[in-house]
Amino acid sequence: MDAKRELYKDGLPEYAFIRQALSASVSQALEADYDLIALGGHEQAIAHRIAVYLEPRFIGYHVDCEYNREKHKAKSRRAEEDSDKPRTMRPDIIVHVRDTSRNVLGVEMKANANRDSADDLHKLRDLKAEKTYLYKGAAFIRIHNALEEMSDGCLRATIQWYDVTNDLITEQEQHRAELVFAGRRAEVTSIVERRRK
């Protein structure tokens, strides 16, 4: 067993609870914020809505978006291979207790209507593996809101969970969640048609 995992016997929520809470919060955003998603809203706006739905599920923890602090210092990550300067880091969503090492969940996300960043998985690796952070859960959310992905009026999201072993990040495929919301097909289809014009 990875020695770092022993650190999680500190009263943080169980993995199953964390996965269920994130899945329920993303589902809630697909339903309640269908218009924001169908309009091609930026990932930061969507991440904020997901964070709002996470908050009541994590009583006693802070749910922050774009949070850049690690206690009293700026949150940083490893330097690039060709540099010795650490880079700052702002995860899209984190569940934690500020000014402590109680780090529950780190989330990076992309909305398909926005540009991709190859850097997101590296951020998750650093949140999960670096001794400074050691987030218990690390997830990547993809919101499928490109026009062609919503042509049937359904909204979709994928949640991928990751673990890190020996500095390699790997998906825990058995925990992947594919979410679909079809409750506002007429409204979503109307928005898609307006976006096409």
Query: The tokens 């995860």 sit on which residue?
Result: 91
Measured CA to CA, the distance from residue 64 to residue 47 in angstroms comes to 10
Q: Please, is 177 exposed, middle or buried when counting C-beta atoms within 10 Å of its C-beta (0-12, 13-18, 19+)?
A: middle
CA 102 to chain centre: 17
* Residue range 95-109, pLDDT digits in tens: 999 988 888 999 999
Residues 81, 27: Cα–Cα separation, whole Å: 38
Helices assigned H by DSSP within 55-144: 120-129
Nearest to 33 by CA among 194, 168, 157: 157
Q: Are 141 and 91 in contact (CB under 8 A)?
A: no
AA letter at 23: S
Q: Please state the rounded mean pLDDT for residues 132-141.
A: 81
How much is the mean pLDDT over the chain?
Answer: 84
44 Cβ contact partners less than 8 Å away, ≥ 6 residues apart: 65, 66, 92
Token output for 163:
């673990």
List Cβ neighbours of 20 (8 Å cut-off, separation of 6 or more). Answer: none
128 versus 153: the higher-pLDDT residue is 153
For 51-89, what is each residue's pLDDT tens digit? Answer: 999 999 999 999 999 876 554 444 444 545 555 556 667
Q: What is the pLDDT of residues 20-48, one digit of tens each?
A: 999 999 999 999 999 999 999 999 999 99
Does residue 192 surpass a pLDDT of 50? yes
DSSP three-state, residue 151: coil
Beta strands 155-165; 168-171: pairing state: antiparallel
